[in-house]
Structure 1
Amino acid sequence: MEQSVREYMKEKVLLGDGAMATYLYQQGIPVQICYEELNLTEPSVIETVHRDYLRAGAKMIETNTYGANRDRLKRYGLENKVVKMNREAVKIARQAAGKDAYVFGTIGSILAGRMMEYDPEEYLDLYEEQATALLYGGVDGILLETFLDVHELKLAVQAVRGLTDLPLFAQFSLLDVGQTRDAYPLSEAFLEVAEQVDGVGLNCRLGPVEILRCLEKTPIPAELQLSVFPNAGRLGIDDGHYKYKSHPDYFAKTAELLIKQGVNLIGGCCGTTPEHISEMRRVVEQYRPVKRINPKPVKVVEESPQPVIKLPKRSRPTVVEKVATQRTIICEFDTPRDLDVQDFLLGARRLHEAGIDAITMADNALATTRMSNLALGALLKTKWGIDPLLHVACRDRNLLGQQSHLMGLHALGIDQILVITGDPTRIGDLPGASSIYDVTSFELIRMVKQLNQGTSFSGKPLKQRAQFVVGTAFNPHVRKIEKAVERLEKKIEMGADFVMTQPIYDTAGIQLLYEATQHLSVPIFVGIMPLTSYRNALFLHNEVPGIKIADHVLAQMEQTTEPAAARRLGVEITKEVLDAAMETFLGIYLITPFSYWKMSLDLTSYIREQDRKQNVAHDFK
């Protein structure tokens, strides 16, 4: 183009291109691959996309580099191709555009919707590396797009503006109309980057009308150009394929409304095609840039205070508060694998009456389908006032489901949880099910504590703070317990309030646990699970790593073949380990084997009786 970008935009509305990734998907290229790698492996495919948009009327095309940064490319083992990939992308776009269109280097958000925790200096380096390669390739400007958070976009602007005086546009992507993910009103978000950019705008996630609603309510500095690249409506799935609804005709109609809002750079994002751009061209050609008139400030009307909704409040201390001064027993009692809950409810009630401080329920332990622990936890709490302590596994829910689940627990007043990784589904009764694992147990602990600070997983402020007390699991049956404790210390740094251990079957193991963990700042609940039969003892001794059953115990269990008698013997043998645990720990974690709740009932009675006899001191760990 003979004119510079800035000169062109004084006289005309600049029409950009449409989507790259979703257009490639429509051409049959699978989503599992790295689309930016096509710059190196299939450059003709990318050039064809550029030419399709140029024929449709685009006067500005974007390089295929949205995710061509070191952090994202590392997922594909391509982190050493950053410079080459970006330079080749510019070369391909230049070959397609010739002198008929501008080429903007595209840089996308590195966070890309992930949690807002990162090293700013590292991100500056990543953005500078990508921008340097694009500038060396010879772009006419830089487009920063799809940023959810003000602070990250400011870093990207800082990195790019330090390298060039070329036109620079900075675009946010909004989760909610009119507000960034980190809770900036859009007008303030634009002001945060205004001094260093030529233009600000919006792209992705929202369609034309939602973007229009944002602009109608947002004052924008007069010296800034305004850009928008809306999605083709909301994403849907039709017959197993991803599709966007908005028709090209609709884009033409809304383009006129957007231009009248002062938009001077307009194109399309996800779901848009050359047909969308072609329809928009008919409108763009009719307009010169329109001077934007900002909306008048809205007068704030004080509203009468709304009635406070009282959520369920804790009537008794948490297990962490209790164990600071007195013997505290958590009992694990798994929910049924059937629809019949009568025995479970009976057992839970009897355990509660015997003196259990909290009943903990696994979250589909061993990846085996069981009744929802949330449902039964709510029943126990409302029906009998029993404190539930629910396991929350990383395996079964994505981040959307995890936050929704935790918000539901908060509403029910269930605030004690144990965060665990969860066994992979391939070992369970539905091996074809997917294991999610969006986050590790470390990350989920931190994110739960984020809810306690009044901030959602996405970083948005919440109107209330949660009050979760978060436990973490610990397996002492490892070759190097020091390494396991180091891992545990990191979980405590993330916010874990207490620890529940895997079952220990000998007094030496109790002593080892005490010596390894006595320096920790949070209480330990020692896992105790009675043997139920000789076969059960053999399995634990020979097949479960780290667990050893003493020879004399194996011999005793072998001599007892009648099932009920074997369980009684298992309880008696367990009392020796319990005695050792109670000498050094106030927290006991009884694990009910195979739903034999009467075994846990007997052990609970034993613990309470021993404490009464010995008048337990309160200077334990």
Structure 2
Amino acid sequence: MANKPNLKEYVKDHLIVGDGAMATQLYQLGVPVGVSYEELCLSNPQLVQSVHAAYYRAGARLIETNTFSANRDSLTRFGLESKVTRINRAAVTIARNAVGEDAYVIGGIGSIIAGRVRSQQLDEYRDQFEEQATALLHAGADGILLETFLDLDELRLAVEVIRPLTELPIIAQLATLEVGRTRDGYTLTEAFAQLQQSGADIVGLNCRLGPAEVIRSFETTVTPDDILLSAFPNAGRLGLSDGEYAYKSSPDYFAQSALLLRKQGVRIIGGCCGTTPDHIRAMAEALAELPPVERFNPSPATEPRIEIGTVAPRRTPHIVDKVKQQHTIIVEFDPPKDLDAEGFLHGCCELHNAGADAVTLADNSLANVRMSNMALGAMMKSQYGLEPLLHLACRDRNLIGQQSHLMGLHALGIDQVLVVTGDPSRFGDLPGASSVFDVTSFDLIRMIKQLNEGISFSGRPLKQKANFLVGAAFNPHVRQIEAAVQRLERKVEAGADYIMTQPVYDAETIKLIYDATKHIDIPIFIGIMPLTSYRNAQFLHNEVPGIKLSDMALERMKNVEGEAARQEGIQMAKELLDVAMSYFKGIYLITPFNYYQMTVELTQYVRKQALLQPTR
């Protein structure tokens, strides 16, 4: 097909069969997992060309370049960041040499986030999308295929960056974890409309879902009248069969599914993970000589409507409301390291009776194993009517566990949480344990607030909205307080409702925190932890991250021991509280070594002083 028409014009009146999975074929040809498949365009171009040729012989007439992860971010992991342009240009040449003139060679660009939780501003990806697209277009690609984007926001950015570079067609494909909705919470109806507005010529779905779920997605989506559609489903779901992971869908099933996708008005039909030349051949034979079918949208009146969750009523007054009116006290009391909860619960009751507004429970602090704060929080609430505030560490749970844990907290009526990064496992009492860190504290704050919108981490709508108050930690003990405040501002931007600081041991630091953060419009709870001995003071100052003592504090603890040392620690804490209460209404008392009697006395002191001392 010499001088073949523009791809967009061609698919207005024709179906076109796309190719299948490149990585699946390369793996079957002996390329191991853990290497850059894109780099093969330079080191083994004949192998890549053989895969393209196999798909062309099977009937594919839209061939995607082997450049899915040929962006700077991905190639940097292999030390190949300087070869972005070379790999992308070579990939177009290899694909072109593998096929006849009747095939379209489309430049493939994958998501840079690539399924991870977003950890930086999307604007930082602009240059990478432009760099890769420019190389593909200059090498002679017939258009750009953006694929496997879980988040609409990233895909829109890519389209907006690439659109000014070319008049050739841009295909924009989302990968959804749930039928009909993106990970960042958009319906496909909303997503396709926004992609068209951003400049996409063809929109569609690929990866993650098999044919049946892709078809269901189109059945429940209202697409813009003048948009063209594409679909590249996986070969079903990945499963374990005879000791090996494999995809289940057969070529015959794929052929039947291609006919159903055609009925949905899809014009470009190919395959993603697990598909082979046999799948593509079966589709091509099934679709041969068939014209495209005009797209008929479901009626908006009958389109399945999902009501994003109703708001769950907050079951207790919360600290953010309280601190706007009066001095409010959070007391940290660590869960026990053994199986006996009775003493801990007794201490919680004493703290409540002394006037604590909430008792906060760490999440295996310092990476040392303690009783589940979720279980203890539930006992506090159900048996004694006490208000728990639970720490959530990024360290111990993957994304599945984090959301499950939060859903359980919601069911228990525990709505106040503090997000912390968590100390690395190797420094705790089980140094062989793994640290997960699927997300940063910024990510987890943002995702909890997404639950408050009635949307799960995967983008699935929930029947009820959560009602979490999310706290963030602030460490003022750094060389550059401005950098720490900038980090704090990012947490506020992510959705933090209040701040809890690391313990402070001198009046000057309290004043410094006030001056550096007074522009932040959410409550700050200033951390005060009484010292118990000179050894304790030295340990905190020299060994515990995020804690720094003044020279005066160390000197005062140096000449006292035993009960006298604890009394000196309480007196020093009271002096700091006098200063802290003049600047902050939020007080965060940290119980040392489970000596809750010390924080009981300090709680009572705050309650007494609150009647006498004004706040700035």
Q: TM-score, normalised by structure 1?
A: 0.84
Partner of 1:270: 273
* Aligned-CA RMSD value: 3.8
Q: Helix, strand or coil for the counterpart of 1:550?
A: helix
Question: Which residue pairs with 1:96 in the alignment?
Answer: 98
2:385 counterpart of 1:385: yes
Q: 2:18 aligns with which of 3, 6, 16?
A: 16
1:276 is paired with a residue whose SS is helix
Aligned to 2:397, what secondary structure does the other structure show? coil
1:175 CA drift (Å): 3.2
Aligned mates of 1:217, 1:493 — CA distance in 2: 34
Structure 2 unpaired stretches of 5+? none
Contact 1:312–1:411 (CA under 8 A) maintained in structure 2: no
Alignment check: 8 A CA contact 1:445 1:470 kept: yes
SS in 2 for 1:337: coil
Shift of 1:423: 0.7
Matched, 1:250 2:253: yes
Map 1:236-385 → 2, pairs under 5 A: 236-237=239-240, 242-285=245-288, 287-292=289-294, 294=296, 297=299, 300=302, 311=312, 313-316=314-317, 318-385=318-385
How far residue 364 of structure 1 moved from its aligned partner, in angstroms, is: 1.3
Q: Distance in 2 between matches of 1:575 and 1:15?
A: 75
Query: In the alignment, which residue of structure 1 is the partner of 2:432?
Result: 432
Match of 2:409 in 1: 409
Deviations 1:336-394 (A, max 9, x none): 22232121112111221222111001111111222221222122122222111111222
Note the 1:97-116 alignment, pairs <5 A. Answer: 97-99=99-101, 101-113=103-115
5 Å-filtered alignment, 1:199-238, equals 199-218=202-221, 226-237=229-240
Structure 1 residue aligned with 2:612 = 616
Q: Could you tell me which residue of structure 1 aligns to residue 602 of structure 2?
A: 603
C-alpha contact (below 8 Å) 2:310/2:465 kept by paired residues? no
The aligned residue for residue 46 of structure 1 is: 48
The answer to which of 369-378 and 528-537 deviates more is: 528-537
Amino acid of the structure 2 residue aligned with 1:432: G
Computing the radius of gyration from Cα coordinates, the structure with the larger value is 1
> CA distance change for structure 1 residues 201 and 378 in 2, over 3 Å: closer, same or farther?
same
What is the percentage of aligned positions where both structures have the same residue? 58
State the Cα distance separating 1:259 from its structure 2 match: 3.8
* CA pair 555-205 structure 1, distance change in 2 beyond 3 A: same
Residues 591/39 of structure 1: CA separation in 2 closer, same or farther (3 Å cut): same
Letter in 2 for 1:207: G
Task: Give the stretch that moved more between structures: 454-463 or 141-150.
Answer: 454-463
Cα distance in 2, alignment partners of residues 503 and 163 from structure 1: 53
Query: What's the CA shift for 1:38?
Result: 2.8
Q: Which segment is superposed worse, 87-96 or 103-112? A: 103-112
Q: Verify the 8 A CA contact 1:218 1:294 in the aligned structure 2.
A: no
Rounded Cα–Cα distance in structure 2 between residues aligned with 1:234 and 1:29: 22
**CA deviation profile, 1:471-513 (whole Å, cap 9, x unmatched):** 2222333344454344334434444333322223455555555
SS in 1 for 2:389: strand
- Structure-2 separation of matches of 1:426 and 1:281: 54
Partner amino acid, structure 1, of 2:588: Y
166 and 583 in structure 1: CA distance in 2 versus 1, 3 angstrom threshold: closer
Contact 2:182 / 2:459 at 8 angstroms: preserved in 1?
no
CA distance in 2, matches of 1:514, 1:155: 38
Query: 2-side partners of 1:96 and 1:430: how far apart?
Result: 54
Moved more, 65-74 or 82-91: 65-74
Contact preservation (8 Å) 1:115, 1:457: no
Deviations 1:240-266 (A, max 9, x none): 864322233322333343345444432
Q: 1:188 to 1:442 in 2, by over 3 A?
A: closer
Residue 594 (structure 1) aligned with residue 593 (structure 2): yes
> Given the superposition, is the C-alpha separation of residues 356 and 26 from structure 1 closer, same or farther in structure 2, using an over 3 Å criterion?
farther
Amino acid at match of 2:146: L
**Contact 1:263 1:289 (C-alpha < 8 Å) held by counterparts:** no
- 1:73 is displaced (CA, Å) by 4.1
Say if 1:411 and 1:282 are closer, same or farther in 2 by CA, change over 3 A: same
Aligned runs of 1:514-593 on 2, under 5 Å? 514=514, 516-517=516-517, 520-544=520-544, 546-548=548-550, 549-557=553-561, 560=562, 567=566, 570-571=569-570, 574-582=573-581, 584-593=583-592
Tell me, what secondary structure is at the counterpart of 1:44?
Answer: helix
Measured in 1, the distance between the counterparts of 2:84 and 2:165 equals: 17
Contact 1:200 1:226 in 2 (8 A): yes
Letter in 2 for 1:535: R
Which letter does structure 1 place at the counterpart of 2:238?
L
Residue identity matched to 2:234? N
Q: CA distance change for structure 1 residues 90 and 430 in 2, over 3 Å: closer, same or farther? A: same
For residues 139 and 594 of structure 1, do their structure 2 counterparts lie closer, same or farther at Cα, with a shift above 3 Å needed? same
- Cα distance in 1 between the residues matched to 2:471 and 2:200: 47
Please tell me whether the aligned partners of residues 176 and 208 of structure 2 are also in contact (alpha carbons under 8 angstroms).
yes
Instruction: Give the superposition deviation at 1:100.
Output: 6.7
User: Equivalent residue of 2:559, what SS?
Assistant: helix
| Partner-residue secondary structure (3-state), 1:140 | coil
Quick check: 1:203–1:230 contact (8 Å CA) kept in 2?
A: yes
CA contact (8 A) 2:452 2:468 kept: yes
SS of the aligned residue for 1:360 comes to strand
What are the superposed Cα offsets for residues 37-67 of structure 1, whole Å, 9 maximum, x if unpaired? 3323333332232233334443332101123
2:87 equivalent to 1:85: yes
Q: Which moved more, 1:497-506 or 1:59-68?
A: 497-506
Alpha-carbon shift at residue 455 of structure 1 (Å): 5.2
Read off the aligned partner of 2:205 and give its amino acid letter: L
In structure 1, stretches of 5+ residues that fail to align are none
Distance 1:356 1:297, change over 3 A: closer
Once structures 1 and 2 are overlaid, which stretch shifts more, 263-272 or 155-164? 155-164
State the Cα deviation string for residues 200-222 of structure 1 (Å, max 9, x = none): 43221211112222334456677
**Alpha-carbon contact 1:261-1:290 (below 8 Å) kept:** no
How far apart are 1:114 and its partner, in Å? 5.8
Task: State whether residues 19 and 270 of structure 1, in contact with CA within 8 Å, keep that contact through their aligned partners in structure 2.
Answer: yes
Query: How far, CA to CA, are the matches of 2:527 and 2:224 in structure 1?
Result: 62
Q: What are the superposed Cα offsets for residues 565-589 of structure 1, whole Å, 9 maximum, x if unpaired? A: 7655654554444455445544332
Verify the 8 A CA contact 1:419 1:472 in the aligned structure 2.
Answer: yes
Residue 551 of structure 1 aligns with an amino acid whose one-letter code is E
User: How many residue pairs were aligned?
Assistant: 608
Quick one: which amino acid aligns to residue 210 of structure 1?
E
- State whether residues 10 and 289 of structure 1, in contact with CA within 8 Å, keep that contact through their aligned partners in structure 2: no
Q: Secondary structure at the match of 1:177?
A: coil
State the shift of 1:11 in Å. 8.1
Residues 17 and 62 in structure 2, CA contact (< 8 A), matched pair in contact too: yes
For 1:616, the aligned partner's letter is: L
Distance 1:469 1:105, change over 3 A: same
The more displaced of 244-253 and 360-369 is 244-253
Instruction: Work out whether residues 419 and 473 of structure 2, in 8 Å CA contact, stay in contact via their aligned partners in 1.
Output: yes
SS of corresponding position for 2:178: coil
Counterpart AA for 1:86: N
Q: Distance in 2 between matches of 1:211 and 1:512?
A: 56
Alpha-carbon distance change, 158 to 474 in structure 1, aligned in 2, over 3 angstroms: closer
SS, match of residue 560 in structure 2:
helix
What's the counterpart of residue 137 of structure 1?
139
1:231 Cα shift?
Answer: 0.3
